[in-house]
């Protein structure tokens, strides 16, 4: 019998990637659009993990279903790791965030433009238990945007090994190498075990 998994995010880019990364499992996906009474969840944690667990647990408790959330962001070395957990709040819109990043880095030379995408994915059950997995993807910040795929900072995130930005990859290529792809692939066997062996409850270690 198919199990329900609530994708606990309001980010359409994340929803598309979660669905693709979890394809082939016997799951019925719901999103926060199916639960309009769930308000904004304040991201007041000090780490990606704290925020990811808070989002997943809040939604699992509110819906009585398994919930999957991620907290993710871009760490830029020349900015001391900023914007990091504040990546979605760095500026009001995606265009403004990317413009601000280019402006802050305008005098930074190529070798010092190193950065990484970090994703902490959290799976939570309706009893408030959660399990997390982390994925990291290294790259550097380009001097101008290119590519139309993905979302967010992808047009500025240059992958030296591929000689193109994250936004220039296909969806499948992005999922193969991305921070979110790595985190969800690590979480996927845990989810399978939770469904198959534990009836949808996350076991306490």
What separation in angstroms does the CA of 126 have from each of 55, 91, 130, 143? 13, 34, 9, 45
- 169-174-178 Cα angle (round to 5): 140
The reply to whether 165 sits near ligand ITT by the rule CB under 6 A is: no
Q: Pick one of 22, 54, 126, 153: the residue that binds ligand ITT (CB under 6 A).
A: 153
The reply to whether 63 sits near ligand ITT by the rule CB under 6 A is: no
Q: Which residues contact 125 (CB under 8 A, 6 or more apart)?
A: 60, 66, 194, 200, 201, 202
Q: Pick one of 65, 113, 140, 180: the residue that binds ligand ITT (CB under 6 A).
A: 180
- Is residue 70 flagged as an active site residue? no
Other CB atoms within 10 A of residue 81 CB: 15
The reply to whether 20 sits near ligand ITT by the rule CB under 6 A is: no
Looking at beta carbons, which residue is closest to ligand ITT?
A: 152
Total residues in contact with ligand ITT, by rule CB under 6 A: 19
Residue 57 and residue 8: Cα distance in Å, rounded? Answer: 9
Query: Looking at 71, 107, 125, 171, which residue is catalytic?
Result: 71
The reply to whether 150 sits near ligand ITT by the rule CB under 6 A is: yes
Backbone φ and ψ of 195, nearest 5°: -75, -45
* Least separation in angstroms between CB 155 and ligand ITT: 9
The reply to whether 18 sits near ligand ITT by the rule CB under 6 A is: no
Q: Pick one of 31, 63, 87, 98: the residue that binds ligand ITT (CB under 6 A).
A: 87
**Which active-site residues does the annotation give?**
71
């Amino acid at each position: 019998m198919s199990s329900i998994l609530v994708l606990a995010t309001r980010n359409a880019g994340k929803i598309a990637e979660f669905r693709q990364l979890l394809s082939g499992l016997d799951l019925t996906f719901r999103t926060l659009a199916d639960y309009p009474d769930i308000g904004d969840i304040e991201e007041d944690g000090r780490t990606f993990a704290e925020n990811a667990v808070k989002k997943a647990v809040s939604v699992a408790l509110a819906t009585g279903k398994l919930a999957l959330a991620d907290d993710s962001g871009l760490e830029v070395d020349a900015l001391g790791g900023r914007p990091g957990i504040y990546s979605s709040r760095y500026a009001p819109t995606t265009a403004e965030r990317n413009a601000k990043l280019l402006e802050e880095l305008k005098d930074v030379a190529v070798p010092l433009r190193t950065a990484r995408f970090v994703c902490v994915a959290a799976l939570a059950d309706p009893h408030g238990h959660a399990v997390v997995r982390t994925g990291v993807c290294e790259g550097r910040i380009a001097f101008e945007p290119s590519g139309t795929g993905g979302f967010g900072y992808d047009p500025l995130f240059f992958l030296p090994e591929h000689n193109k930005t994250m936004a220039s990859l296909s969806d499948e290529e992005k999922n193969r190498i991305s921070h979110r792809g790595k985190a969800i692939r690590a979480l996927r066997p845990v989810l399978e075990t939770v469904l198959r062996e534990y009836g949808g409850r996350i076991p306490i270690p």
